Chain A
């Protein structure tokens, strides 16, 4: 019985129509969230560059600084800031992924003079002083919204993001099925034809980025695999928390770490360990030095390899006895073939290995993917409005709602991201909750844009928001010039490519937004004039946004 109803409910026209239905609704229901994930994820390919733009006080990054020197400066800093700690983690400025030398510690003894029980410091390698810069969420917070969202607890976020990813995957597969002529229409884009143009744009963006989309979505699912398929772990390790902990320990922990012996012994100098590691991996390829229980007889030192020579995430590690300096374990990240496959997919997703030009290709693919989601959302609304107007009715409430959410998200969210950068420069430097307010500025701005979209007429809302977005992005270099001394001319003449790159990129985003706003405005004015002279053509002319 139930089966009968299901079959009857299927859209008429067979498998392809059915898949079209799935594609439409899988895409629409999570479309705005996916748009958010695409915007923040794409920005994330330049996370450390954005970090640096958002802390303009920092000196030039000492990338490639002598490893021995960096390690000894960090070690002295750790002894001074965090005596008696359980762990000192030194991050060396080896490439754009880690532009500054950093010390992280936990479990330090405040009675022995530690500045805090746990903390982190960026360290100036020339003076050994802590680098001071404004508090900011930086590119990291923006990137983390890609999977942590914001204002939500992790318990829900994982499930929301996992579901969105699954819907994305379904939309991709069904999209390939319903696209009849992938090869024949590969190069087809017909502008100024309303719904047709939006469909063409959606197709072109999806088909040209398909390898990227499949990779990014499938690897996204792998990221969330343990949330998705908890039973596989539970079947082998037990369903309780202890079982899960055991599983994670077995798969991800560094081997050979032990409890402290509570007997003091002096830490071996790092120099010999660094030399051993470099003879294995090559010079300048140590990314981290992790010291456990320094000063204890059971001290361990884990040296990690940089990940620039493989697409896989996860680094090779050498575990040394921290007192005798004996090499205890040589632990590659891929401890098993399964872990190797996981590392490869995660590595492809994050693109941490990517040298500058490849990083740009990642960024461009991300932008095109953002466009794919955006055009898909717009297409849904344009198609339904066109149908409604052909029947000479007004658009149903659902269509109006989608239209308003589209303006407020497709243009409004990028404005919010620009506001995040504006807040970084405009909030008082000594504001205690600065980093949180940057994020609040982003979401409040997005909210304002959604409200604006709700109360303004449809066409006006698009043009007005595009103008705001264009100004918000194009004026960022000016704001930067007014609030710091690292303006565009300065960074171009001194070869400061991080700052120049940021300023030029926001210009490259802002200017086309402005051009689109201008063309849309002109088309609307032309249409109004046409309507006034020939009222009968009103309905035909008023079809869609796509005509502009």
Chain B
């Protein structure tokens, strides 16, 4: 079970970070960045989002193969997307923290996988 649980945890965290980042990049939420010109952060945030999604897919396929890997990735995508929509609706101020936490914990889990 731990064989699939760790990679899947990493994917849930990474896809969560990715969607939170993409959500921050939308016109509705970009103003939450407390910088002087938040608009210029939209493109970098989108890049982060899409590349982390790709990274999650890559690790899924490497750790579980194409069949199970794709199933895991799509499952994680769904869960992460719904979670981010709920956060964006009811706790929008958390979006930035969720991006960071998801990224750091996700990368942490990935590196933990190398040692297990």
Interface residues of A (CB under 8 A from B): 184, 186-191, 204-205, 207-209, 211-212, 215, 310-312, 344, 348, 353-358, 361-362, 364-365, 368
Of all chain B residues, which has the CB nearest A344?
Answer: B67
The reply to whether B85 and A354 form a contact with Cβ atoms under 8 Å apart is no
Please name all residues of chain B whose beta carbon is closer than 8 Å to the beta carbon of A186 when the two chains form the complex.
22-23, 81
Give which listed residue, B4, B78, B89, contacts A357 with CB less than 8 A.
Answer: B4
Known: A189-B89, A358-B4. 8 other contacts (CB 8 A): A187-B85, A191-B89, A207-B81, A211-B78, A212-B75, A310-B67, A356-B1, A361-B78
Q: Is the CB of B4 within 8 A of A355?
A: yes
Q: In chain B, residues 1-36, which have Cβ atoms closer than 8 Å to a Cβ of chain A?
A: 1, 3-5, 8-9, 19, 22-23, 26, 28-29
Neighbour of B82 across the interface among A191, A204, A211, CB < 8 A: A204
| Of A187, A212, A368, the contact of B88 (CB 8 Å cutoff) | A187
Residue of A nearest to B77 (CB): A211
B75 pairs with A358, CB closer than 8 A: yes
Contact B8 A364 (CB under 8 A): no
- Among A189, A212, A215, A356, point to the contact of B85 (Cβ < 8 A): A189
> Is A311 in contact with B4, judged by CB distance below 8 angstroms?
no
Give the chain B neighbours of A188 by CB distance below 8 A: 28, 85
| B75 and A355 contact, CB distance less than 8 A | no
Q: Which residue of A lies closest to B84 (CB)?
A: A187
Q: Is the CB of B78 within 8 A of A311?
A: no
Indicate whether A361 sits within 8 Å of B79 (C-beta atoms), given known contacts A212-B74, A354-B71, A355-B1. Answer: yes
B72 touches A361 (CB 8 A): yes
The residues of B that contact A353 with a CB separation of less than 8 Å are 68
Residues of A close to B85: CB separation below 8 A: 187-189, 204, 208
Quick check: is B52 within 8 A (CB to CB) of the other chain? no
Residues of B with Cβ closer than 8 Å to A? Answer: 1, 3-5, 8-9, 19, 22-23, 26, 28-29, 67-68, 71-72, 74-79, 81-82, 84-86, 88-89
| Best-surrounded residue of A208, A348, A362, A364 (most CB of chain B within 10 A) | A208
Would you list 15 pairs from A and B whose C-beta atoms are within 8 A, ordered by A residue? A184-B26, A187-B28, A187-B88, A188-B28, A189-B88, A208-B85, A211-B74, A211-B77, A215-B74, A357-B1, A358-B8, A358-B71, A358-B75, A361-B8, A361-B79
B79 close to A311 (CB less than 8 A): no
A358 touches B68 (CB 8 A): yes
Question: Assuming the A-B contacts A187-B88, A189-B88, A354-B71, are A361 and B76 also in contact, with contact meaning beta carbons closer than 8 angstroms in the complex?
Answer: yes
Question: How distant is the Cα of A276 from the Cα of B81 in the complex, in angstroms?
Answer: 47
Identify the interface centre among B9, B28, B71: most chain A CB within 10 Å of its CB: B71
- Give Cα A368 to B23, complex, Å: 20
Q: Which of A190, A205, A355, A364 has the most B CB atoms < 10 Å from its CB?
A: A355
The SS class assigned to the B binding surface is: helix
B100 to A: closest C-beta gap in Å: 18
Chain B minimum-CB-distance residue to A205: B82
With both chains docked as a complex, state the minimum distance between the C-beta of B64 and any C-beta of chain A, in angstroms. Answer: 9
Contact in complex: B5, A357 (CB < 8 Å): yes
Chain B positions within 8 Å of A365 at CB level: 75, 78
Please report the C-alpha to C-alpha distance between residue A543 and residue B41 in the assembled complex, in whole angstroms: 40
Residue with the greatest number of chain A CB neighbours at <10 A, chosen from B9, B67, B72: B67
Q: Which residue of B lies closest to A311 (CB)?
A: B67
A190 contacts which chain B residues (CB < 8 A)?
Answer: 89
Residue in B4, B79, B82, B88 with the greatest tally of chain A CB atoms within 10 Å: B82
Q: Chain A nearest CB: distance from B69 CB in Å?
A: 10
In the complex, which of the residues A189, A207, A311, A361 contacts B75, with contact meaning CB atoms closer than 8 Å? A361
Residues of B within 8 A of A354 (CB): 71
Minimum C-beta distance from A526 to chain B (A): 20
> Which residues in B have their C-beta under 8 angstroms from that of A310?
67
In the complex, the chain A residue whose C-beta lies closest to that of B29 is A187
Known interface pairs A311-B71, A353-B68, A358-B75. Does A208 touch B89 (Cβ–Cβ under 8 Å)? no
Report B-chain residues with C-beta under 8 Å of the C-beta of A356: 1, 5
CB contacts (< 8 Å) of A189 on chain B: these are 85-86, 88-89
Task: Give every chain A residue within 8 A of B71 (Cβ-Cβ).
Answer: 311, 348, 354, 358
Q: Check A187/B4 contact, CB under 8 A, given A208-B85, A364-B78.
A: no
How far, in angstroms, from A344 to B68 measured CA to CA in the complex? Answer: 11
Task: List the B residue with the shortest CB-CB distance to A308.
Answer: B68
**A187, A212, A358, A368: most-surrounded residue (chain B CB, <10 A):** A187
Partner of B68, one of A208, A212, A311, A368: A311
In the assembled complex, the Cα of A212 lies from the Cα of B79 at a distance in Å of: 11
Report B3 CB to chain A, min CB distance, Å: 8
Chain A residues whose C-beta falls within 8 Å of the C-beta of B19 in the assembled complex: 187
Q: Which residues of B contact A207 (CB under 8 A)?
A: 81
For A209, give the chain B residue with the smallest CB separation.
B78
Q: Are A187 and B26 in touch, CB under 8 angstroms?
A: yes
Output the nearest chain B residue to A204 by Cβ-Cβ distance.
B85
Q: In the complex the two chains form, what is the Cα distance from A212 to B19 in whole Å?
A: 18
Q: Please indicate the chain B residues that have their CB under 8 angstroms from the CB of A209 in the complex.
A: 78
Q: Which 3 A-B pairs have the closest CB atoms?
A: A361-B75, A311-B67, A208-B81
Give bound CA distance, A310 to B68, whole Å.
7
